[in-house]
Amino acid sequence: MNYETLITSLDDGIGIVTLNRPGKMNALTTQMRAEIPHAIKALQVQARVIVLTGVGRAFCTGQDLGDAAGGGAIDLERVLRDEYEPILRMIFDCPVPTIAAVNGPADAGGTYLMPRMMGGAKAMGAALFADKISAKQADDWGLIWESVADDDFDAHWRGRAEHLANGPTLAYRAVKEAIRGSWHNTVSDQLETEARLQGECGASRDFREGVVAFTEKRPASFEGR
């Protein structure tokens, strides 16, 4: 499907959603906010990993303040609930791994994940002072998985995506469920969750393929089931 504000592709199990408003540093408009969850939902049917990135020198600088120019007062509560929340939920609940290939400036935001990822003090300071945070700082604070030199960026995230696309996506889904469940589980709940998920994975075709591939000393060919 063609989008006004995005470029999408699917190749070798890697689905890519590229924000395509470089002249506005990929700032989010109503149109873009509608297209992003639609694109992710469409790609996740066949993709084994989904990458979100941007065209130009920015990843995404947040809300396009000119999007509602001349339109009177903005109902921010409605916008957050009806337009931003579906994007976040679509990414968070995506059944396959997702990668944010942040190619430039980005608006971090988010009072749910930030304290859990970087600690309360860092999250509070980042929100109140709004200082620019470098990729290296974000890496050091646990806000992202890793920072990569500009010259290596494109090849690096494509290599990461290829690794995940060739991996056991059923197990990846279970890992996501277990780690996120740990945020509110008791120890007993978490042990029960891990036992259940490992039981489900152990009964899968991917598990059997992994064992056979190991004994035959060959790369495994996972199907995600």
| The pLDDT value given to residue 146 | 97
pLDDT(69) > 60 = no
* Secondary-structure class of domain 169-215 per CATH: mainly alpha
| The pLDDT value given to residue 94 | 95
pLDDT(75) > 90 = no
Q: Which amino acid makes up residue 4?
A: E
Equal CATH topology for 6-108+143-165 and 169-215: no
Query: CATH 3.90.226.10: does it fit domain 6-108+143-165?
Result: yes
The SS3 assignment for 16 reads strand
Q: What is the pLDDT of residues 26-48, one digit of tens each?
A: 999 999 999 999 999 999 999 99
CA angle 102, 107, 110 (to 5 degrees): 110
pLDDT category, 117, cuts 50, 70, 90? Answer: very high
pLDDT(125) > 70 = yes
109 phi/psi in degrees, rounded to 5:
60, 175
Q: What is the pLDDT of residues 146-177, one digit of tens each?
A: 999 999 999 999 999 999 999 999 999 999 99
With b meaning 16 or more CB within 10 Å and e meaning fewer, what string describes 86-103? bbbebbeebbbbbbbbbb
| The pLDDT value given to residue 72 | 64
Name the average pLDDT for the chain. Answer: 94
| Distance, CA of 47 to CA of 39 (rounded, Å) | 12
pLDDT category, 71, cuts 50, 70, 90? Answer: low
User: What are the sequence ranges of the domains in the chain?
Assistant: 6-108+143-165, 169-215
pLDDT(70) > 70 = no
pLDDT(193) > 80 = yes
Sequence-ordered strand ranges (E) for the chain: 6-11, 14-19, 49-54, 98-100
User: What is the 8-class DSSP label of residue 2?
Assistant: -
CA dist 14 to 129, 140, 165, Å? Answer: 37, 28, 6
| Distance, CA of 20 to CA of 45 (rounded, Å) | 22
Sign of CA dihedral 41, 101, 224, 10: positive
| Distance, CA of 43 to CA of 52 (rounded, Å) | 12
